[in-house]
Structure 1
Amino acid sequence: MCGIVGVLTRDGSAVDEATIVGLRDTMIHRGPDDAGVWRREPQGNAALAVRRLAIIDTSDRGHQPMANEDGTVRVAFNGEIYNHAILRAELERRGHRFRSHCDTEVLVHLYEEHGPSMVEQLVGMFAFAIWDEAAQHLLLARDRLGVKPLYWLDDGSRFAFASEIKALLPLLPRREVDPIGLWQYLTFVAVPPPRTLFAGIAKLGIAETMLVTRDGPQPPRRYWDPIANRTCFDGEAVAWERELQGQLLRSVERQMMSDVPVGAFLSGGVDSSTNVALMSRLSATPVNTFSIGYEGRAAYNEFSWARQIAERFHTAHRELVIGARDFWQAVPGVIHHLDEPTGGPVNVSVYLLAQLARDAGVKVIHLGEGGDEIFAGYDQYLRIEALTRGAWRRFRRLPRAVRQVVSTTAGPLMSLQPRLEIRREAMLRATRDGGRLWWGQAIGFYSREIERVSTSRLRRLVDRGQPGGLVLSTAAEADAAGARDELDRIIYQDLRLRLPEQLLMRDDKLTMASSVEGRFPLLDQPLVELAMAMPFEEKVRNGVGKHVLKRVMSDVLPEDLLWRQKQAFRTPLQHWLRSELAGPVERRLRTSAIHELGYLDREAVQRLFRLHLSAKGERSYQIWALLSLCLWFDYWIAGRELTPD
């Protein structure tokens, strides 16, 4: 795991080495173990730099940037290649010689053999750049599920890329908000590729490669699709279970590959418990596990379930208990390390858990992300699927005028309760031909709500139908790839947007903030491809999601844990906003410099906060989204220091 950065000048001018070293060292937290820089000589028009967190072959032989024997192929690499030993053996049979045991070195030799298509042979999480001296181009690549981020900018005279936005900010003439990115953020609580919240900075999408020459970047190429590349397997229930059982164990085993201590976050849910159970089976020593809870908020704590798993598998278990003050004091660090806001208040919990792991000497941590997506574990998935087959279909058959009357009268009655938001939005969209019901698992503001908190100035600058258009185009891509049913489309939408740009982006940056590498066994490529091949009835039975995973783990995990009602990994923010954090949050929302832009309606934001305070409506997720946006703007755009009140 590393932090990488590079520059290719388009006008042939030389890259200043001190400049690229300065960009690199904004990411010391991503690589405190080593640092390297390479500049093309004598021209100096291309440069790569790396901060290294040593995980595999911790010796100096893993120093980056790394080159082939004659220096014609050089790589700056962030991530892990789990099948590097298999690839290395094949390359050695072809005559390639290796100087280290690092997975990084596999990349340069694999590129020599296959060029840009080499990415299709990689199993792992990665973002990398390869300079090809003969072809005079740069190849950028991001992994299939988007575990590793990769940002870039092109100002006409130079192209630059980095693992984090903060490494590119010194290259911007000025920091400005992208209004379309802002509108997308308010909708998805993340900005879909290729945009970011910073005007002039873009990001590579999941499973994309991009070639860059002196003429500039070429259009990205997507080399993998979760539906089109699913496993060809048509078995009975027992066969699915047997195949999944083996693939789960192989996934965990692959991702335990490390020359440094490995641990796991343990919430007590099915996903993290599955991970810990299989890690314990494969480990000769007790697995380090870490859990977080909240003072005086037993309903939000899963300590009893986590302790049950820790005792069952004899882990070295540690717990962290935080209150509202601890939470609030950690927020500035979260804003700094995320670079742009994304996701919910669980961000803070991940940030603090990573610190706990680091202090325990654990350098690699397993997280349970992905299980709810690939195995249909979210209750909301099941409600949407049922609506699509039932009420949604019947409602769409009504005359348009009738649909409009129903949505106009019933919609406002549902607006105070987020759990009814799906049905409300279903009514609104059913009045329009072609409207999609599912927009994502964690939407911040739907269209009409954004119009209430935004100003006419922002609305004039953006295509207000753009988020809906993105949803429609993603659904169309799912169908083109071979989606079988609505559940396929729902999962596809979240694998393309929410999972990589909200959850994995959060986990990568907030674990790396403590120089800890996050890994995701349930997102191992072969496992995802198998899960995407499973039919609906394997994942959902009798209204219970994730059914096949629970059946497979029934002889390993306690029955009461497996079949209990799903409890999301969450915080007591909704209560803290009505008590300890009410004053500080209200002040930040009211006094933020973002209001000088004229994009947000300050009074509408205050009304939303007062609605939550009154307990007539639960709006903590939306308030967090707005608070994160305000704090981000104050820190990264306006240059204000973020000090807890």
Structure 2
Amino acid sequence: MCRIYGSFGGPTPGPEVLERVADAMRPGGPDAQSLRRGDGWSLGTNRLAIQGVDHGEQPFERGALSCVFNGEIYNHRRLRAELSAQGYAFEGDCDGDVLLPLYELYGEAFVSRLEGMYAIAVADRRGEPSLRLFTDHAGMKSLYYYISADGQRLCFASELRALSRFPDFPAELDPLAVDRYLGGKAVWGPATAHTRVRTLEPGSVLRFTGGTPSVSHTTLAPAEPDWPEGHPTVAAAGAMLDALLGEEMDRMLDADVPVCVITSGGLDSSYTTALAARRVPDVASFNIAYRGDWPADERHFAAEVARHCGSRHHQVLLDPADFPGLVERFVRHLDQPNNAPHSLSTFALFEAVHEAGFKVALTGDGADELFAGYGRFVKADRDGSASWHRAYQSTMAAVPTAGLERLYTADYLAHVRAAGGYFADRSGDALAARVRRAEQSKLETLLRYDQSERFPYYILRRVDHLSMAHSVEARIPFLQPSVMRLAHALPASVKVAGDTVKAPVAEAARRWVPASVVNRPKQPFTLPVAAMIKPGEALYDMVGDSLLARGARCRDYIRQDTVRDLFRLLTESPGAYPAETLWSLLVLETWLSAHHAGPRTP
């Protein structure tokens, strides 16, 4: 696991520039730093040594090929054996050793043979020199890039704040990114908060020789199981999922450093914990909760799972009085605004994992998006009204469009309307058009839309950046190709069986997880902001001090009288809407203050 960066084309940046880029993301790779520069190219890494610790120095090189890689290739031993049979020699046990031999043999198609998570850069100087960038199908590892103003050089990095250390970084903030954030809870790719900076989408291949890069997308074909009854059933799907996840868990527990598991108390992480505990009887589990009595506290479910599975359980407790300092820290590491309240908890949890001596943590992310675990999927699928798509998109917004009418300043509202209207409305309309064109069921189209448009940027960027901020690698069993291909092969009637959402996951987990966890209603892992942003709590004071300050940057976009009205509403009639809106604005203001000091919006 590493953080990677580099450039291709034009004058090669000097070592001092590249050192600044590397230093900006050193927490993601504290074990070793390496750099290679040539005529018109540079590749560098910060290494977090997980596999093949004594070897695996990057960049990997074979003649006129050089490669840097962030991630893990879980099938590297099988690939190594295949390559050895073809005459390739290897030293050590680093998973990245197989990348350039595979690229030599299969060209760009080599990624179809990889099982894992990755962002890969290959500088190919054979014939016409070119750069290739690759990302896995789920989009687990981030990669940002921009083209120089003259079109001759491409610069890339795993984190935006590292990319910004290149001298010609186009720092101009896209003012519409604020509307995209509030309409999607995060800045959805491939665009970013910076006008000329982009992120590589899941399952993408970028080619650059100079000028405009070309980007194509690789596909992950659905599985074609031989179902026992000739057609898929919940029971058969659950059994197959359990077998696949067992195989994936065997590979994910294979590391040269300590591995633990995150246990929120929900179904997916509890199932992940149970699978890990069957293979490592004393596996360590981690749960986070808050001092005091708060709504949506799941620690007792996590403790029950730990007892049931026999894990060494670590209960992490946060003091709400410390939240203001945590907000500033986690927002700085996120690179772009993300309104998920549990980003604070996630950041603190990975910090505790690191302090306990672990470099790898398994998580249960992805099951809801693949197997229809959210009620909003089912509600939208069954909604036959003409405006179902707008209603659905509003569930993914930090602030519904009706609220934005009152929230935005007159100038910013005019700017948004001139650009085509609210992001949430435009996205909802695009989703409706996608459903009309799709050959798949409406539910499956909703799932694929979520997997490509929202999930990588709202969930996975958070997992990647906040874990690596503490030198921890997050491994995600549900997002491996075998599991994704199975999910894509299942019809809607199997994923949602009657009123049971995510039915194959519940079926698979039933043998290993307490019934109290399997059968209880879904409860999102979150921070209870409605209870924590109220008079007397530290977050309440921080929100007011930040948003109503004379120099607040969000004043360019947000009406101060509306912010005061939200505070008044929160005090007089506490509820989710004012609290969550104020939280979203706090994240925006903190991000603007930390990441941007350039020209203000038109």
Q: Normalised by the shorter chain, which TM-score bucket?
A: over 0.9
Q: Which amino acid aligns with 1:259?
A: D
Instruction: Report the alpha carbon displacement of residue 515 of structure 1 after superposing the two structures with TM.
Output: 0.2
Structure 2 matches for 1:469-488, cutoff 5 A? 469-474=426-431, 476-477=433-434, 482-484=439-441, 486-488=442-444
Q: Size of the alignment, in residue pairs?
A: 583
For 2:133, the equivalent position in structure 1 comes to 140
Q: Give how far 1:437 is off.
A: 4.2
User: Where do residues 195-234 of structure 1 align in structure 2 (5 Å cutoff)?
Assistant: 195-218=191-214, 220-224=215-219, 229-233=221-225, 234=231
> After the TM superposition, which residues 558-569 of structure 1 pair with which residues of structure 2 at under 5 Å, given as runs?
558-569=514-525
SS of 2:420 mapped into structure 1: coil
d(CA) in 2 for partners of 1:605 and 1:586?
9
Decide whether the 8 Å contact of 1:293 with 1:300 is kept in 2. no
C-alpha distance in 2, partners of 1:78/1:522? 19
Identify which of 421, 424, 436 aligns with 1:464: 421
Distance 2:432 2:477 in 1: 27
Structure 1 length-normalised TM: 0.86
Counterpart of 1:170, as a letter, is R
Q: Match for 2:57 among 52, 58, 63?
A: 63
Given that 1:232 and 1:533 are in contact with CA atoms closer than 8 Å, whether structure 2 keeps it comes out as yes
Distance 1:440 1:252, change over 3 A: farther
Question: Is residue 261–residue 361 contact of structure 2 (8 Å, CA) maintained in 1?
Answer: yes
* Rounded Cα–Cα distance in structure 1 between residues aligned with 2:106 and 2:581: 47
Deviations for 1:591-632, whole angstroms, at most 9, x for unmatched residues? Answer: 274547732222223323332332254222222221111011
Q: Tell me the residue number matched to 1:6.
A: 6
1:440-519 counterparts in 2 under 5 A? 442-461=396-415, 462-474=419-431, 476-477=433-434, 482-484=439-441, 486-519=442-475
Partner of 1:623: 582
Show the counterpart of 2:37. Answer: 39
8 Å contact kept, 1:471–1:493: no
Instruction: Output the CA distance in 1 between the equivalents of 2:413 and 2:113.
Output: 44
Deviation of 1:467 (Å): 4.0
Supply the RMSD in Å over aligned alpha carbons: 2.1
Matched residue, 1:351: 347
| Pair 1:151 & 2:144 matched | yes
Question: 1:407 corresponds to which residue?
Answer: none
Measure how far apart 1:353 and its partner are: 0.7
Q: 1:589 aligns with which of 527, 547, 563?
A: 547
**Quick check: 2:554–2:592 contact (8 Å CA) kept in 1?**
no
Contact 1:264 1:366 in 2 (8 A): yes
Identity of aligned residues (%): 30
SS where residue 172 of structure 2 aligns? coil
- The one-letter amino acid of 1:601's match is R
SS of equivalent residue, structure 1 residue 557: coil
Instruction: Indicate which of 596, 600, 613 corresponds to 2:571.
Output: 613
Which amino acid in structure 2 is aligned with residue 468 of structure 1? D
Aligned counterpart for 2:273 among listed residues 256, 268, 276:
276
Equivalent position of 2:531 in the other structure = 575
Amino acid at match of 2:465: K
Q: Is the 8 A contact 1:589 1:606 kept in 2?
A: no
Q: What are the superposed Cα offsets for residues 202-239 of structure 1, whole Å, 9 maximum, x if unpaired?
A: 11111111011123422x111025xxx22223434443
Taking the TM superposition and a 5 Å limit, the aligned residue runs for 1:255-334 are: 255-283=252-280, 285-334=281-330
Q: Which runs of 5+ in 2 are unaligned?
A: 226-230
Amino acid at match of 2:60: M
Contact persistence 1:156–1:216 (CA under 8 A): no
Q: Residue 493 and residue 239 in structure 1: after superposition, are their counterparts in 2 closer, same or farther (change >3 A)?
A: same
User: Normalising by the residue count of structure 2, what TM-score does the alignment of the two structures yield?
Assistant: 0.92
**1:457 CA displacement:** 2.6
Greater Cα shift, 614-623 or 336-345: 614-623
Superposition deviation, residue 327 in structure 1? 2.0
Per mean C-alpha deviation after superposition, the further-off stretch among 209-218 and 146-155 is 209-218
Q: Give the AA of the match of 1:198.
A: H
1:113 pairs, out of 87, 101, 105, with 105
In structure 2, C-alpha distance between the alignment counterparts of 1:480 and 1:90, rounded to whole Å: 41
CA contact (8 A) 1:294 1:571 kept: no
C-alpha contact (below 8 Å) 1:375/1:549 kept by paired residues: yes
Which of 25, 28, 32 is the aligned partner of 2:26? 28
Contact 1:475/1:489 (CA < 8 Å) preserved in 2?
no
Pick one of 72, 87, 93 that aligns with 1:101. 93
CA distance in structure 1 between the partners assigned to 2:550 and 2:7 by the alignment:
34
Deviates more, 1:565-574 or 1:167-176: 167-176
Structure 1 residues 304 and 467, CA gap change in structure 2 (3 angstroms): closer
